[in-house]
């Protein structure tokens, strides 16, 4: 470590750097109380007496807009030193390239450099500084689904429960503002409608239930707008299309079918048949940048639907032709959740199952890429997280390499998709995890930072927890 520090000192010739502080931050000695106190005093971090001071220092600096370039350069020096210890030559080269650029620029700060610094430590910060915040109380039974949306710069959460209700929550006040109770059974899925908001400026949420219906609710007017009732079995999940501003809604049902609905016309367009048992979960491929794909009968050419079933298979369907063209087999029990990847992971599917495993699939080859084992009970939900670790030039744009899963073993686990080794981090709960959602909040009562990521999740006891 001393050799590496001397190289950096000689290369950058920055006499104003507090090298003693840099040395302490970048070594593995900060579990000792003496070093912790020394770092806090030297860095003026008296209020940040935490174990992971590397994350604390970076977070403290970046949350102060008034800090000057010298301090930001100091933060990046910490990142560079960490890369000398853990990183590859390619990663070091990328960091140094940006460092040289900012040393030669007198005005402002390079945005890519900011993003690189923050992304490098964001998962570390989340793990070390996040805590369980005040829960949202209102449901009396299990919470099966959560969604998040911003209406007119105000963040809201909606939730569906075994108490047969759909609840709307104001994130700013931490209070329940609306309850819809016309469903006649468990509400398995809820989604805010982007189509109603962007086309009619209406605040609308949509829900699917054990009562075989899909219902649309006007939040401001506190009334039901419409009902879809063509399915002949309970409806496990719904999803708005990523194209055409969410005009189309997809649903998966216990009647073994998937339906595609026109939200504008309030009618069923297509029925997808092929599964031999209940369709528990569905997803629609993410929005593509290639505008030439926006053709076809419904403007969905090139888009697909992914479905997970109690028949233990995952199917990919062409959204225009309704044809099934890929079937993934490998799970040993019911498939409970499926998710499309995005950006560089666009051609991947993430799945969870009652066989206790999480699996990553390659759409192009039709084969399983990786399996993640560790849960002791059914995996109910999987997500591609917003976090990345160990940056390189290919992931500066925010492509996640950390996935997240929640299960009936009362845990939420984080995994690095590049390795099937032990999980990166685990959050322990007292009740089974049924759903989860990452939300990004501006500074408020829940989030003390200027812009932070929170994890919301629902469980058997009816509470919605926020970890952030």
* 3-class secondary structure per residue, 355-410: CCEEEEEECCCCEEEEEEECCCCCEEEEEECCCCCCCCCCCCCCCCCEEEEEECCC
Taken in order 25, 29, 31, 32, the sign of the CA dihedral is negative
Sheet holding 248-253, edge to edge: 235-240, 248-253, 257-262, 267-273
Give the pLDDT confidence score for residue 299 in this predicted structure: 55
Three-state DSSP state, 267: strand
Q: For residue 269, give both structure tokens.
A: 């367009």
pLDDT for the residue numbered 287: 78
Instruction: For residue 76, give the nearest of 15, 17, 7, 4 by alpha carbon.
Output: 17
> Among residues 439, 368, 375, 440, which one has the least CA distance to residue 405?
375
Task: Please give the Cα distance from 63 to 47 (Å, whole number).
Answer: 14
| Strand, helix or coil for residue 310 | coil
CB-based contact 307:314 (threshold 8 Å)? yes
Residue 459 in tokens: 């469980």
- Cα gap 21→54, rounded to integer Å: 11
Burial class (CB in 10 A: 0-12, 13-18, 19+), 50: middle
15 is written with which tokens?
């006499």
CA-based max dimension of the chain: 74
Using DSSP, state whether 277 is helix, strand or coil.
coil
Task: State the CB neighbour count (10 A cutoff) for residue 184.
Answer: 11
- β-partners of residue 208 are 189, 214
CB 142 within 8 A of CB 465: no
Q: What angle do CA 24, 450, 29 make, to 5 degrees?
A: 15
So where are the chain's domains? Answer: 2-129, 143-467
240 half-sphere exposure, CB direction, 13 A CA radius = 21
Q: Give the per-residue pLDDT at 270.
A: 94
Distance CA 36, CA 418 (A): 33
Q: Which residues contact 96 (CB under 8 A, 6 or more apart)?
A: 80
- Superfamily holding 143-467: YVTN repeat-like/Quinoprotein amine dehydrogenase (2.130.10.10)
Instruction: Give the span between the Cα atoms of 8 and 26, in whole angstroms.
Output: 13
**In angstroms, rounded to a whole number, what is the distance separating the alpha carbons of residues 224 and 173?**
25
* CA–CA distance, 372 with 350 (Å, rounded to integer): 11
The β-bridge relationship of strands 335-340 and 324-329 is unpaired
Give the tokens for residue 57: 């220092």
In Å, how far from its chain's centre is CA 220?
A: 28
Name residue 315's beta-bridge partners.
Answer: 307, 327
* Closest by CA position to 364, among listed 328, 336, 395, 392: 328
User: Cα dist. 140→21, 84, 158, 166 in Å?
Assistant: 51, 52, 15, 12
10-residue averages of pLDDT along the chain (468 residues)? 51 49 49 42 40 42 44 51 50 50 43 43 68 89 96 94 97 93 97 96 97 97 96 97 93 97 94 97 83 52 92 95 93 97 86 97 94 96 82 43 93 85 84 91 53 86 91
Query: What's the pLDDT at 357?
Result: 96
In angstroms, the Cα distances linking 239 to 273, 283, 367 are 18, 6, 25
Please work out, in degrees rounded to the nearest 5, the angle formed at the alpha carbon of residue 287 by the alpha carbons of 248 and 281.
60
Q: Is the dihedral of CA 125, 129, 131, 134 positive or negative?
A: negative
């Amino acid at each position: 470590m001393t050799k590496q520090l001397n190289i950096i000192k000689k290369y950058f010739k920055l006499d104003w750097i507090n090298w003693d502080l840099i040395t302490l931050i970048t070594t593995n000695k900060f579990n000792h109380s003496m070093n912790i106190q020394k770092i806090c005093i030297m860095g003026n971090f008296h209020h940040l007496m935490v174990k992971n001071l590397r994350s604390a220092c970076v977070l403290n600096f970046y949350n102060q807009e008034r800090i000057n370039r010298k301090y930001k350069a100091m933060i990046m020096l910490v990142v560079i030193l960490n890369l000398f210890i853990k990183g590859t030559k390619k990663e070091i080269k990328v960091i140094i390239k940006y460092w040289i650029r900012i040393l030669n620029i007198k005005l402002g700060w390079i945005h890519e450099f900011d993003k690189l610094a923050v992304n490098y430590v964001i998962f570390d910060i989340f793990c070390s500084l996040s805590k369980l915040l005040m829960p949202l109380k209102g449901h009396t039974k299990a919470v099966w689904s959560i969604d998040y949306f911003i209406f007119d710069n105000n963040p809201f959460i909606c939730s569906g429960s075994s108490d047969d209700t759909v609840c709307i929550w104001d994130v700013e006040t931490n209070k329940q503002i609306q309850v819809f109770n016309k469903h006649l059974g468990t509400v398995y899925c809820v989604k805010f409608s982007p189509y109603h908001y962007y086309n009619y400026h209406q605040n609308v949420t949509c829900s699917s239930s054990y009562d075989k219906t899909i219902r649309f609710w006007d939040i401001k007017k506190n009334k039901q707008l419409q009902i879809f009732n063509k399915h002949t079995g309970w409806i496990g999940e719904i999803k708005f299309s990523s194209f055409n501003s969410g005009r189309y809604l997809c649903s998966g049902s216990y009647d073994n079918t998937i339906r595609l609905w026109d939200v504008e016309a309030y009618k069923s367009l297509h029925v997808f048949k092929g599964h031999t048992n209940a369709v528990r979960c569905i997803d629609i491929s993410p929005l593509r940048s290639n505008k030439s794909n926006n053709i076809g009968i419904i403007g969905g050419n090139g888009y697909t639907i992914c479905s997970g079933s109690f028949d233990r298979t995952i199917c990919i369907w062409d959204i225009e032709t309704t044809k099934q063209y890929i079937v993934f087999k490998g799970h040993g029990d019911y498939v409970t959740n499926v998710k499309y990847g995005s950006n560089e992971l666009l051609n991947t599917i993430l799945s969870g199952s009652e066989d206790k495993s999480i699996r990553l699939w390659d759409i192009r080859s039709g084969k399983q890429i990786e399996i993640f084992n560790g849960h002791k009970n059914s995996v109910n939900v999987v997500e591609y997280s917003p976090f990345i670790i160990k940056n390189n030039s290919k992931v500066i744009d925010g492509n996640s390499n950390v996935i997240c899963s929640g299960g009936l073993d009362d845990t939420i686990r984080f995994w690095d998709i590049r390795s099937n080794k032990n999980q990166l981090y685990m959050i322990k709960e007292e009740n089974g995890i049924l759903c989860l959602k990452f939300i990004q909040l501006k500074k408020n009562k829940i989030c003390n930072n200027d812009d932070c990521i929170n994890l919301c999740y629902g469980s058997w006891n009816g509470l919605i927890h926020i970890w952030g």
